[in-house]
Structure 1
Amino acid sequence: MLSAISRSETVAFVIPYFDDGLPWRRDCLRLTLGSLERQTDPAWCAYLVDDASPAPDTAEFLADLTSSLSGSVTVLHAPHNAGAGQARNLGIEAAHRNGQTLLAYLDADDLAHPDRVAAVRALFAADPELDFAYSDIEFIDEHGAPWEPEGLLPGLRMLDEQQRLPKLRGRERWMEQARERDNIAIPSAMNLRTALALRVPFSAVPFCEDVATLFRYLGSGAKIDHVPDIPTGYRVPREGGSASRKQSGGVDAFNRMRCANERAGLEEAIATAVRRGAVDERTGREVLCRYLIRIGRTVSADGSPELGMSQLRQAHELDPETFAEHTTPTEYADASAAAVTR
């Protein structure tokens, strides 16, 4: 049974929203908020953050939409467009001011499982030391139909496969994620204490801020767990492709920002862990080297082979011993040759 304190706690959803006038965005937001209305535990509220949308009637649309909801939804308006991460930071700060101690991220086109609030409240109530908890995801298309794994893009298929690996629980699991897993959770599957989100805000970058921030969460010493049986509906359109890739200027531009932003987050996590005495600098260098190997392979498979080779070359230069131990003979030879010809 939940304690008296935990029963009084609500889960504060933080939802960034950007409206460029396309009807599907508003349709998706209605469905997203509808998934909150269907929660089996009514102890939730939401902070819906308009990321300085260019559509002229966004404020009126959001006011009308939220006025009809049974749950408490606060609409915030960012002063300028700065991306989903910065919009989330505004929601996090507002939740903190209102005394909310538990957060759940949810993007404006994804769907919360009906039992998410109940499960998250129970898990955090059972473990006062828990800082962060993630759930699995289910891929759905623009019509809400499930995806078959073989139809997903390579990067999404990898995420689908990796969420079947043993779950990450405990502390210092950022090292395993960096070395062996492309990601463990999209933002819409993240739940955490407000104190952690305040201590480690999202970076001011437009893309891949989620993985970078996750590295920083866990590198700070946060305790992680997995919430079973509440998969988030992660919307991936069958037509039109990835919005992030389009907005960034294409696959290669997106992958370049991905490599830069994720690495910055991981390097900060390593520096924090070294300061805490959780790892030494040698271990941190080994983790970064293995991350570069992994991300190099990932972006190569995603259509950026030259970028992938540059990541392998950097890994080789950073830690030749670790690089030799964890790469194939072909990767080692290619990276060595690339280093010689620079």
Structure 2
Amino acid sequence: MNSSDTPLVSVIMPVYNGEQYLAQAIESILSQSYSRLELLVFDNGSSDNTARIVADYAQRDPRVRPLWEPTPLGYGGEVASNIAARQATGTFIAKLDADDIARPDRLAKQVAFLQANPDVFLVGSNLELIDSHGNTTGMRAYPLSHEAIFNEFYLRFPIANPSVMYRNVLKEDLYVIRFSHFNDYYSLFLLINSGLRMQNLPECLTAYRIHNTNTVFTNLRIKWRSNVAIKESFIRDFGYVAPLSQRIKIATITHIINLLPERILIKSMNKARQLIKA
């Protein structure tokens, strides 16, 4: 198999104070069955042992490229991901968060899919849910076809951002920073709305870790308001037509979140995910 058959994959991994799970995330990439890769680990102003862990791996494996920013850039790693992507040299770019795990055949299957489907810009997958110890607790399914993904964008983010691989062809940054949270949600809508095709694979190619330090579980009311503002922008700015059933579900969730105290919003959020099958 020559180099034209095995395009380089650039894996982007932003990390902020991620020493607890970082080594597992890095190992999951370096042990992929698809080995022609570079791993860009962007240390986003960490104050723990993240820098040492990344440096150790870079010494042992030349595919690891450490990147560093002394001051945290915020926005859930999206600014850091943009900076890393500008330095990516691969034909394809894959994302993985520093507390998640890529299954051994993830890159191979996504590269094969993109090569077989040249009209598709981005491919994601379903998520396996794991706890802080790596035990499987469930799965999260996503719509598979381009049309189904587009039709669910108001209801939820129908692509698992930690699972994506996309073609390194964009002239601008992947993530447009407009909102205080969830600019990945907004940005991928901009791309699919512009005509770029996206699909999800039915397998769980990434294990998404749910633990008590997930940033998704902080400031829930503020983050939900940002989520709703993004949904409203789809309709207001782009003429997106959201089905009435989806709008009723989102209105119901909003009422629950506004009604309950912050301390029990995590449970209500999980109920909301069940309601919308997210």
Give the TM-score range, shorter chain.
0.7 to 0.9
Q: How far off is 1:245 after superposition?
A: 3.4
Partner of 2:69: 78
Structure 2 Cα separation of the partners of residues 236 and 242 of structure 1: 7
Structure 2 Cα separation of the partners of residues 211 and 289 of structure 1: 21
Please identify which structure carries the higher helix content. Answer: 1
Kindly tell me: are residues 118 and 235 of structure 1, through their superposed partners in 2, closer, same or farther at Cα, counting changes over 3 Å? same
Q: How far off is 1:226 after superposition?
A: 2.2
Q: How far off is 1:194 after superposition?
A: 1.6
Partner of 2:273: none
Partner of 2:146: 169
Are 1:194 and 2:173 matched, yes or no? no
Structure 1 Cα separation of the partners of residues 123 and 2 of structure 2: 19
Structure 1 Cα separation of the partners of residues 253 and 124 of structure 2: 22
After superposition, give the CA deviation of every residue in 1:204-254 in whole Å (9 maximum; x if it has no partner): 5452222112211211211112224342100001xx3643332xxx32122
The secondary structure found in structure 2 opposite 1:229 is strand
Q: Structure 1 residue aligned with 2:57, among 55, 65, 72?
A: 65
Tell me the matched-pair count.
Answer: 258
Q: How far off is 1:127 after superposition?
A: 1.7
Letter in structure 1 aligned against 2:183 = E
When structure 1 is superposed on structure 2, of 55-64 and 252-261 the one drifting more is 55-64
After superposition, give the CA deviation of every residue in 1:118-168 in whole Å (9 maximum; x if it has no partner): 11111111122210111000100000011157xxxxxxxxxx3x53xx522
Kindly tell me: are residues 257 and 245 of structure 1, through their superposed partners in 2, closer, same or farther at Cα, counting changes over 3 Å? farther
Are 1:18 and 2:22 matched, yes or no? no
Are 1:304 and 2:254 matched, yes or no? no
Structure 2 Cα separation of the partners of residues 76 and 204 of structure 1: 24
Partner of 2:268: none
Partner of 2:274: none
Q: Would you say the 8 A contact 1:115–1:230 is kept in 2?
A: no
Are 1:244 and 2:208 matched, yes or no? no
Q: Would you say the 8 A contact 1:103–1:193 is kept in 2?
A: yes
Kindly tell me: are residues 104 and 148 of structure 1, through their superposed partners in 2, closer, same or farther at Cα, counting changes over 3 Å? closer
TM-score normalized by the length of structure 1: 0.66
Q: Would you say the 8 A contact 2:125–2:160 is kept in 1?
A: no
Q: Would you say the 8 A contact 2:149–2:199 is kept in 1?
A: no
Q: Would you say the 8 A contact 2:25–2:98 is kept in 1?
A: yes
Q: Would you say the 8 A contact 2:124–2:161 is kept in 1?
A: no
The secondary structure found in structure 2 opposite 1:287 is coil
Kindly tell me: are residues 290 and 128 of structure 1, through their superposed partners in 2, closer, same or farther at Cα, counting changes over 3 Å? same
Structure 1 Cα separation of the partners of residues 3 and 55 of structure 2: 34
Q: Structure 1 residue aligned with 2:208, among 207, 211, 234?
A: 234
Q: Would you say the 8 A contact 2:19–2:49 is kept in 1?
A: no
Partner of 1:328: none
Partner of 1:114: 104
Structure 1 Cα separation of the partners of residues 229 and 25 of structure 2: 31
Partner of 2:229: 260
Letter in structure 2 aligned against 1:176 = N
Kindly tell me: are residues 147 and 230 of structure 1, through their superposed partners in 2, closer, same or farther at Cα, counting changes over 3 Å? closer
Please say which structure displays the higher CA radius of gyration: 1
Partner of 1:51: 44
Identity %: 22
Structure 1 Cα separation of the partners of residues 80 and 50 of structure 2: 15
Q: Which runs of 5+ in 1 are unaligned?
A: 20-24, 150-159, 272-283, 307-342
Please identify which structure carries the higher strand content. Answer: 2
Are 1:185 and 2:183 matched, yes or no? no
Q: How far off is 1:37 after superposition?
A: 2.0
Structure 2 Cα separation of the partners of residues 291 and 91 of structure 1: 35
Q: How far off is 1:290 after superposition?
A: 7.1
The secondary structure found in structure 1 opposite 2:241 is helix
Structure 1 Cα separation of the partners of residues 173 and 220 of structure 2: 32
Q: Which runs of 5+ in 2 are unaligned?
A: 261-278
- State the Cα RMSD in Å: 2.9
After superposition, give the CA deviation of every residue in 1:261-286 in whole Å (9 maximum; x if it has no partner): 4544x359x53xxxxxxxxxxxx253
1:208-223 correspondence to structure 2 within 5 Å: 208-223=182-197
